[in-house]
Amino acid sequence: MSVVNVLFLVICMTIDFKEQEIIMERVKALLKGEERFALVETYGCQQNVNDSQKYEGILQKMGYTLTDDREKADFIMFNTCAVRDRAEKKVLGNIGALKHLKAKKPRMVIAIAGCMSQQESVEKKIRASYPHVDMILGTRAMADFPRALEAVLVEKKRVINREENDCVLENVPTNYDGGCKAFVSIMYGCNNFCTYCIVPYVRGRERSRSMEAVIEECTLLAKRGVKEITLLGQNVNSYGKDMGMTEGFATLLGEVDKIDGIERIRFMSSHPKDISDEVLSVMANSKHICHQLHLPLQSGSDKLLKEMNRVYNREKYLSIVDKAKKLMPDLAITTDIIVGFPTETEEDFEDTLDMLKTVKYDSIFSFIYSKREGTPAAKMEFAATEEEIRARFDRLLSVQNDISYELNKKCEGEVQEVLVEGMSKEEGILTSRNYANKIVNFKGDESLVGKIVKVKITRAQTWILIGEVCG
């Protein structure tokens, strides 16, 4: 373990995963060369998807073969999300369903990791009602995974690690899936404490990876044939602040843009309170950064934005959009919206609809507010009934569908570069993404997968574009 940054009394430790190699070898020896299968099921955001690829990489290194089949698996991990109640209920239901599988195959090891398992209340629930769960790992316990698995296999005892620390892991074996796109986490945690959100409680404070480590990973991915990289963090615009950098994210973007072979760069999420002019200008002047910005709004009401602790208002948000569109007239903007925040009135909701119509988002990710115990919003009284909130949600989707269709319609006749991801469900039809991350389907064969192709858009639908290869 080495201390890489001591700044303003904040100590961020970097743990080199190579230190776990001896334990990983020991676990491999325990499996005695017998084929054992492992399954990691992921819930939640891209950062969790990226963590799961690391858990899979570690399992492969310890001798496991990956499978999608729960019946076949000797090791099952649920990498969980706590952001909304529905995701939590689904996981608990799925853990319950594993009971009979474990009864049939006693050597099966069951683990839960990720944001749900970081919570004390979940640990209590598992202890009380799910005796078949062998391992609970919090969001900062990945370095301890090989030891925990060894303890479960050898001592046949349950292992729990929900330690809170400010560590960043490097050199973690990762199961990059071999596709043309990859996620790269550039920072962990969140300092913002939006009043509805559980993330800062379960993911801890912001910790940035070193710029060298991020560049090294992106370079390695480029060598493996990855064409598109999405840089991940809860608030990428504050990348490097914990290391004393100003404009750390703009600098990082500029450096990733220089890597040979990386043809497209995206990033998320971008908190409006922290996005700098420099980031927008690096985007506009870069060769490879897609002119696409995910800029979560959450609500269009100034009153609600204040109560949500978002630290910007409509005016500030619109001024960012304005600046960005002046620099990049073709910019595609997407956002996150919460409907039914406790104090939301009809008037507040109409302010949100008004923002949708003003900004004209290419698409939105919309969520009905879910109460998270321990957050300030959990104590607030509701101003609307469940029925009213449902109806608002439907109205929001309908307004946005019209906007998405209108924007897609404008693409008809355009020639766009798309990155081909694979065959679609329809025979002979490829599925790809344009710079705006919109799906473009067109006729073609497998030889185009992983390539950037020029396609003429022939027809717009609400969610996807249809095209044909340009001759």
Q: What is the 3-state secondary structure (H, E, C) of 229-273?
A: EEEECCCHHHCCHHHCCCCHHHHHHHHHHCCCCCCEEEEECCCCC
Residue 243 sits at φ, ψ, to 5 deg, of -105, 10
Residue recorded with tokens 């979940």: 122
Q: Which of 199, 231, 290, 465 binds ligand SF4 (CB under 6 A)?
A: 199
The nearer residue to ligand SF4, 235 or 292, going by C-beta atoms, is 235
Q: What is the DSSP letter of 291?
A: S
User: Which range in 6-14, 114-122, 165-173, 191-199 contacts ligand SAH by CB under 6 A?
Assistant: 191-199
Termini Cα distance of the chain? 56
Please tell me the chain's helix, strand, coil percentages from 3-state DSSP, rounded to the nearest 5: 40, 25, 35
Q: CA-CA distance, 14 to 30, in Å (whole number)?
A: 29
Tell me, residue by residue from 385 to 424, as one string, x for binding to ligand SF4 by CB under 6 A and - for no binding. Answer: ----------------------------------------
Q: Are 235 and 266 in contact (CB under 8 A)?
A: no
Map the footprint of ligand SAH across residues 286-325, applying CB under 6 A: 296, 298
Selection from 275, 230, 219, 223 nearest residue 250 by Cα: 275
Q: Is 392 in the site for ligand SAH (CB under 6 A)?
A: no
Q: Are 82 and 116 in contact (CB under 8 A)?
A: yes
Q: CA-CA distance, 180 to 448, in Å (whole number)?
A: 12
Q: CA-CA distance, 217 to 232, in Å (whole number)?
A: 13
Tell me how far the alpha carbon of residue 52 is from its chain's centroid. 11
> What minimum distance in Å lies between the beta carbon of 419 and ligand SAH?
24
Q: Which of 14, 80, 174, 234 binds ligand SF4 (CB under 6 A)?
A: 234
User: Which range in 73-81, 192-200, 249-257, 425-433 contacts ligand SF4 by CB under 6 A?
Assistant: 192-200
User: Which range in 46-54, 197-205, 317-325, 415-423 contacts ligand SF4 by CB under 6 A?
Assistant: 197-205
The nearer residue to ligand SAH, 342 or 467, going by C-beta atoms, is 342
Q: Which does 185 bind (CB under 5 to 8 A by kind): ligand SAH, ligand SF4, ligand F3S, none?
A: none
Who's near 75: CB < 8 A, 6+ residues apart?
Answer: 36, 37, 38, 39, 59, 64, 108, 109, 111, 149
> What minimum distance in Å lies between the beta carbon of 235 and ligand SF4?
5
The nearer residue to ligand SAH, 54 or 372, going by C-beta atoms, is 372
Q: Is 82 in the site for ligand F3S (CB under 6 A)?
A: yes
Q: Is 209 in the site for ligand SAH (CB under 6 A)?
A: no
Q: Which does 369 bind (CB under 5 to 8 A by kind): ligand SAH, ligand F3S, ligand SF4, none?
A: ligand SAH
Q: Which of 190, 256, 275, 290 binds ligand SF4 (CB under 6 A)?
A: 190
Q: Are 275 and 295 in contact (CB under 8 A)?
A: yes
Q: CA-CA distance, 376 to 386, in Å (whole number)?
A: 20
Q: Can you give the binding site for ligand SAH, defined by CB under 6 A?
A: 83-84, 196-197, 199, 234-235, 269, 271, 296, 298, 336, 338, 367, 369-370, 372
Q: Can you give the binding site for ligand F3S, defined by CB under 6 A?
A: 44-45, 47-48, 81-83, 114-115, 198-199, 202-203
Q: Can you give the binding site for ligand SF4, defined by CB under 6 A?
A: 190, 192-194, 197, 199-200, 234-235, 271
